[in-house]
A = this chain, B = another copy of it.
Amino acid sequence: MIVRKRPGALGLMLAWKGSVVPHVLPHILLAGLFACAVTWVARHHYLDGIVEYTLLPFTLLGIALSILLSVRNTATYDRWWEARKQWGQMVYEVRSLARASGIYLQPEPRRQLMVCVLAHAHLLRGQLRGEDVRADLPAALSSELADKALAKRNPAEFMLQQAGQLIADELQAGRLDTIAAAALDKHLHALSGVQAASERIAHTPLPFAYTLLAHRTAYIYCYLLPFGLVGAAGWFTPVFTAIVAYTFFGLDRLSEQLEFPFGRDSNDLPLDAICRINEISVAEALGDQAPELLQPVEFQLQ
């Protein structure tokens, strides 16, 4: 995630980091060059009588294109924001569990429970990003348990099952009554919900037909545009084509980036930083020394 104070108007025009420009520049240039060619040919009258220049069909195409891009944009932004909400919910479930476990549990099982929950966050992050998070697991987690978790199909889920086991043990040992167990399990249930929602977003692309239709309409539009513009805009045709291509390809690429918000692209969510926030919350609740917040590096928070 890019975190920076809003730069001035000029700074915004020139910002590169976090922009989609690097990704779509080749496509913009190609469309611009194609427009140059069309303009050159048209200026030499090779198209006279073949193409009669008119912009109006493009407003028609524009209707379909705007529906496609706008529905797709809204949908991908909603995914991104829902993902952020889910991880925000994780933050407060962890805090509430730290508080509620202080009400019902003895210090030692409380610490073990919180370690499981911290490990869950790291393991889920690892699963969503396809990364190895062995080194980030809490130091208090026994190496044996960590190995056992990582051998499972779904290590994060195992960690929550482990936390549930811990509550079951306390309950059977009579150190917890059913109501307290149910109250603690409610938070594990919520964390399970965060995990399921994250997996849903990470593993369910938008309907592929949507992506295809939006992408194709945008490209057809931009490559037909020079024929429509050349009559009215002359040598401004490549400029206009490039600008229109910039906005449409930019929107297309932006939607693509927001569709899967758990990666390490510059507009993805800062899962590392959120895991750190959890660690701070737990450490302060248990009276330990809390680590530092993660800081953005070159405006980017991981």
Contact = CB atoms under 8 A, between A and B. Distances in A.
Contacts of A68: 247, 251
A200 interface: yes
A64 B192 CA distance: 39
Contacts of A158: 284
B196 A95 contact: yes
Contact of A153 (B20, B56, B152, B290): B290
A58 interface: yes
A71 B66 contact: no
Interface in A157-189: 157-158, 160-161, 164-165, 167-168, 171, 177-183, 185, 188-189
Interface in A94-142: 95-96, 98-100, 102-104
Contacts of A215: 9, 12-13
Interface in A1-32: 1-4, 6, 9, 12-13, 15, 18-20, 27
Contacts of A179: 178-179, 182
Given A92-B192, A185-B183, A207-B267, A99 B164 contact: yes
Contacts of A165: 102
Nearest to A87: B200
A77 interface: yes
Interface residues of A, number: 127
A167 B250 CA distance: 53
Contacts of A62: 59-60, 63
B84 A281 contact: no
Contacts of A154: 280-281, 284
Given A71-B70, A212-B19, A284-B161, A207 B99 contact: no
Interface of A: 1-4, 6, 9, 12-13, 15, 18-20, 27, 50-52, 54-71, 73-75, 77, 80-81, 84-85, 88-89, 91-92, 95-96, 98-100, 102-104, 152-154, 157-158, 160-161, 164-165, 167-168, 171, 177-183, 185, 188-189, 192-193, 195-197, 199-200, 203-205, 207-213, 215-217, 219-220, 224-225, 227, 229, 232-236, 240, 243-244, 246-248, 250-251, 254, 256-258, 266-267, 280-281, 284-285, 290, 293
18 contacts: A12-B211, A13-B216, A20-B209, A52-B236, A54-B232, A58-B60, A61-B244, A70-B70, A95-B161, A96-B192, A99-B189, A99-B192, A102-B165, A153-B290, A178-B179, A179-B182, A213-B250, A217-B247
Nearest 5 pairs between A and B by C-beta?
Answer: A92-B196, A64-B247, A2-B208, A99-B164, A88-B200
